[in-house]
């Protein structure tokens, strides 16, 4: 028999085969809409940023945003429903599948969806000439780290809450502000000094800096190791919290 993690992974792939339409637009089309609307439209006003056209400058930010959003939104309803309504995770508990397998299989699945979406976005940006460096090949790895760190944190959240009406609040109060103030559309340095530390504390900003450095061939705001360290810390904390939340939920 397959390894329990692989079995969990296969289950999610099987579900995705019938549910992929529910996220196809948001994961594949929406980032391109932002690129064209803001990059082209607003870019006309902005001119050049750091020596690059505005469209080229925000493209890496939008790619990191895509990874962030796939990470977050994958673990919202899917995880909540598996506990509260479908109960798939309770069924797994009665088999050889352990919490580590549930999470590993889930993360693996999120990586597959992420890989598809990132490939599409990179193909489009490369086609319009927004890719400036061979280091871009490393961008998917940064996206993977960012996405899994966020998906772990949100899985912990979704395993804890008892009503799905918390999700709109999560998006309005956490996800939307994060995407708008993490240096995707304008440098964090342009914000008032007292709010800048908030942006530096968010995982997305570190993802944006690293992806931008790879795609434009520039150096990020902090040393690469520092950016990676913050993202890795988010991943570890997210994983520990998710494991705790799953364990707590599975015993009741």
Partner 1 sequence: MVTMAIAHRLSARRAAAVLERNGKATRVGPSYWLLLVSGILEPLLYLLSIGVGVGQLIGGAVQYGDLAISYQSFVAPAMLAFCAFSGAFGESIFGFFSKLKFAGVVENQFAAGVRATEIVAGELVAATLRGAVYSLLFLGVTVAFGLVTLGAAVPTLAATVLIGAAFSALGLAISATLRGWQDFELVTTGQLALFLFSGTFAPIATYPPALQVIIEATPLYHAVELVRALSLGAAGQGTLVHAAYLAVMIPVCGYLAVRQVDRALRR
| 106 is a contact residue toward partner 1 (CB under 8 A) | no
Nearest-5° Cα angle at 181, 178 to 183: 115
| 170 is a contact residue toward partner 1 (CB under 8 A) | no
**DSSP-based three-state secondary structure for 2:** coil
Give the per-residue contact string, 118-157, with partner 1 (x = CB under 8 A; - = no).
----------------------------------------
Q: Give exposure, 125-140, as e/b (b: 16+ Cβ within 10 Å).
A: beeeebbbeebbeebb
Binder among 15, 30, 241, 250 for partner 1 (CB under 8 A): 30
| 176 is a contact residue toward partner 1 (CB under 8 A) | yes
Residue 220 is classified by DSSP as: -
**Cα distance between residue 44 and residue 130, in whole Å:** 16
Binder among 37, 100, 119, 219 for partner 1 (CB under 8 A): 37
Q: Could you tell me how many helices (H) and strands (E) the chain has, helices first?
A: 14, 2
Distance of CA 100 to the CA centre of its chain: 20
Nearer to partner 1, 7 or 191 (CB): 191
State both tokens at 112: 């597959």
Shortest approach of partner 1 to residue 76 CB, angstroms?
A: 14
Beta strands in the chain (DSSP E): 48-49, 52-53
Which range in 96-104, 136-144, 152-160, 182-190 contacts partner 1 by CB under 8 A? 182-190
For strands 52-53 and 48-49, give the pairing. Answer: antiparallel
Shortest approach of partner 1 to residue 156 CB, angstroms?
A: 22
Binder among 168, 225, 251, 252 for partner 1 (CB under 8 A): 168
Number of residues that bind partner 1 (CB under 8 A): 33
Strand partners, 48: 53
| 22 is a contact residue toward partner 1 (CB under 8 A) | yes
Residues near partner 1 (CB under 8 A) are: 21-26, 29-30, 33-34, 37-38, 40-42, 44-46, 49, 54, 165, 168-169, 172-173, 176-177, 180-181, 185-186, 190-191
């Amino acid at each position: 028999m397959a390894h329990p993690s692989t079995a969990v992974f296969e289950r999610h792939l099987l579900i995705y085969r019938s549910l992929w339409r529910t996220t196809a637009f948001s994961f594949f089309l929406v980032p391109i809409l932002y690129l064209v609307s803001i990059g082209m439209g607003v870019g006309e006003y902005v001119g050049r940023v750091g020596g690059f056209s505005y469209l080229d400058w925000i493209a890496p930010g939008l790619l990191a945003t895509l990874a962030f959003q796939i990470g977050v939104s994958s673990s919202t309803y899917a995880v909540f429903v598996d506990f509260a309504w479908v109960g798939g995770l309770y069924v797994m508990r009665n088999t050889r599948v352990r919490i580590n397998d549930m999470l590993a299989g889930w993360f693996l699945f999120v990586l597959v969806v992420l890989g598809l979406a990132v490939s599409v976005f990179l193909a489009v940006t490369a086609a319009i000439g927004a890719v400036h460096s061979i280091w871009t090949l490393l961008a998917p790895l940064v996206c993977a780290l960012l996405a899994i760190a966020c998906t772990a944190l949100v899985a912990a959240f979704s395993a804890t809450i008892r009503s799905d009406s918390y999700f709109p609040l999560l998006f309005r109060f956490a996800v939307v502000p994060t995407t708008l103030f993490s240096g995707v559309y304008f440098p964090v340095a342009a914000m008032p000094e007292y709010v800048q530390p908030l942006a530096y504390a968010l995982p997305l900003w570190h993802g944006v800096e690293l992806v931008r450095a790879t795609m434009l061939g520039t150096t990020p705001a902090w040393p690469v190791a520092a950016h990676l360290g913050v993202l890795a810390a988010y991943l570890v904390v997210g994983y520990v919290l998710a494991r705790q939340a799953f364990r707590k939920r599975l015993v009741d």
